[in-house]
Structure formats: structure tokens, C-alpha cells
Amino acid sequence: MLPPNAPCALWAGLRELRDPWFLTHEDDRGSFRDLANRHTAKIIHEFLHDQATGVHLKIAVLEAIANSTENIGLHAIIRDMVREKHDNTWLRSTALKAFAKSVQNDWSPLEALDGELAQATDDLNAPDVRVDLLLLTQNSAAWPRGGSRSGNRLLLPRRKGALSAVSMIHSLLCHPMSIWT
């Protein structure tokens, strides 16, 4: 465990780089596990609000939140990032993981977010983000078995073939008219 000032110094150093592309290497996911905590919450909040913060640094911050053992209370900010239709899908999907972690995979806020994404007809990437939500929740306790309060009765199988079902759902979400042609 690092002393409280070490993670703050690390984030402050990364701030100077603005867009450190090397932080988002697939093999290094989770490297910042203990860097999202109550001591770093202020600087993380600043990163997420600063328009000049590059996408790679934002991804690293969101990965730190998603892999954190501590809730730093940024639910609303992260939720807004998931819903931001002008951001790229990679950033939004990473924000989705951080949001799910920040709400302890509670289905109610995840379902509400899914509903908002479903209604965002002017958001071309919303179907991709919804599929990521489906993938994120399909093997967790967050997914309601037997349906939700809204009456949805989608039951996902917990086996290898589930990915093909997800692919089919993705096609339907992204190209709803393709089922008629």
C-alpha cells in the first residue's frame, strides 16, 4: 500500500503529460488499482471535468475507478460520461465499467442508464454502449433473473454460447431494420 501522497504525486505528474497514450495498453488494465481513493478523489474529479485532459488519461482514471476497492463518489460525473454521445465508444465503455463499480453493480441504476441509452435515438454509439452494458452484467449478480420491474423478460444463458446471443442482440440494436430485409 502506497502512502496517501504517492498516488496524488503520480496523478499530478501524469497531468503534465495531458494524453499519456502508454497508460491504456490492454495488458496493463488494473495497474492503477489503488490509485482511485479518497486521497486522489479531488484530482480525479478535476481530470474528468477538464476538457484539456486527453482521452488516454481519462481512460486510465476510469480504469483506476473501475478497479478500485474504494468508492470515491463520482457516480453522476461518470454516468454523464457514459451518456455523452460526442465521446468515443472506448471512453464511454470504460466509463460504464467505472459507473457499474461505483454503484456496486446495483441493477436499478444500470437499468435506468440502459433505458436512457435506448431512448437516445440521435446517439449512433448508444447501441454499442448498451451491448457493453449487457456484456458487463450478463455474468454478474446485477442481471435480474426472470425479468425486471419494467417487464423485460430477457434471460441470458450463462454458458459459452451467450456471446453469440449478445452478437445477435448487438446486430438488432445497431441495425434494427436489417431483420426485415
3-state secondary structure string, 89-141?
A: HHHHHHHHHHHHHHCCCCHHHHHHHHHHHHHCCCCCCHHHHHHHHHHHHHCCC
- Listed in sequence order, the residues at least 6 apart from 107 whose beta carbon sits closer than 8 Å to its beta carbon are 137, 142, 143, 144, 148
Residue 115 is placed in which grid cell? 433505458
Backbone angles phi, psi at 18, to 5 degrees: 70, -50
Q: What is the pLDDT of residue 105?
A: 87
- pLDDT tens for 16-67 read 876 777 766 666 555 666 789 899 999 999 999 998 888 888 988 999 999 8
* pLDDT reading at 162 higher than 60: no
- pLDDT tens for 119-142 read 998 999 999 999 999 888 775 554
